[in-house]
Amino acid sequence: MAEALSLPTDFSFNQSNLESYLACKRQFQLRYVRKLVWPAQTTSDTKRFEADRQAGIRFHLLIHQYFLGVKLERLLEVAQNDPDERVNSWFDGFLAQFHEGLTGHCLPEFTLVASVAGHALTAKYDLLRWTGEEVVIYDWKTSFLPVPLDREKIKVRLNARMQSKVLPLVAWLTRWPDGEQNLERKITLSYWEARDPGNPIFLPYDAQSAVLDGQVIQNLIREITTTPLEQFFQTNDERKCLHCTYRSYCQRGIRAGDYNEVDTEGMPFTEDLWTQAESELLSEEL
């Protein structure tokens, strides 16, 4: 009889590991089940990739501290003295967009957990704003690729990602301080791009969205937890292997792909990398 997948008892599904499974079942198995650490480059330009990633993390940290109530003068000083001048520009754009503040309860770097298909589904939010009548989810983007001009194409692309399903679904399933779930409450997911601060993308979420996304994620979780170990196959699309750290382990090449062709915001593992690094930076600050 084929051996089924056995996940750790404390395992929680999230946008990152679900995206990883969709990209490549073998990748999911190696990283999240076997926890294999494979020291390969993600891109051909590691220095640039890391510089962009660290700049984005420091920018997220500035916004986190802004909503925690750290004095603006201190944050401006930190931004102006950041080794990467983009961080100061991004923070100026953020302040220009949100200088009047936001109403309601603002919860920065907030985590919620819901139960789907008998398993934990975790969502980590850059900012969650609850007013009693609506929930707005903010996600700060600092991708380096040019901003596409076709906003409808952007929305289609964003809607297809696990992030756009997991974040609002978990918020929808959450019972808020007023004791009610979001069966009638308005939910909006807002993607805010630092290089285009005046044009955020808004994705409304309703009961139909929750039903559809809930079914998709439920089916995915059931598929993952019932698939025999030997059926966690490699992807047939070898282009996805170019920026996967396991490519040499899977004999899919040694050299990493061109950094100019990688979508860092859509890469599996991005959430894991950012969460760990941002937590370390915040601990140092505090």
Q: State the helix-helix crossing angle for 151-159 and 163-173, rounded to 10 degrees.
A: 60
pLDDT band at 196 (very low <50, low <70, confident <90, very high): confident
Residues 83-91: what's their mean pLDDT? Answer: 96
Q: What is the CA 128 to chain-centroid distance, rounded? A: 14
Dist. CA 164–CA 190, nearest whole Å: 10
132 versus 239: which is more confidently predicted? 239
Dist. CA 83–CA 63, nearest whole Å: 17
Q: Quote the pTM value.
A: 0.87
**Residue 147: other Cβ atoms inside 10 A:** 12
DSSP code of residue 122: E
Is the pLDDT assigned to residue 41 strictly greater than 80?
Answer: no
pLDDT, tens digit, 9 for 90 and up, residues 119-158? 999 999 999 998 878 899 999 998 765 555 677 888 888 8
Dist. CA 254–CA 200, nearest whole Å: 38
**For residue 4, what pLDDT is reported?**
61
Kindly tell me the burial class for residue 10, based on how many C-beta atoms sit within 10 Å of its own C-beta (0-12, 13-18, 19 or more): exposed
**For residue 282, what pLDDT is reported?**
46
**For residue 96, what pLDDT is reported?**
93
69: left (phi over 0), alpha (psi -120 to 50) or beta: left
All domains of the chain, ordered by start, with CATH? 15-285 (3.90.320.10)
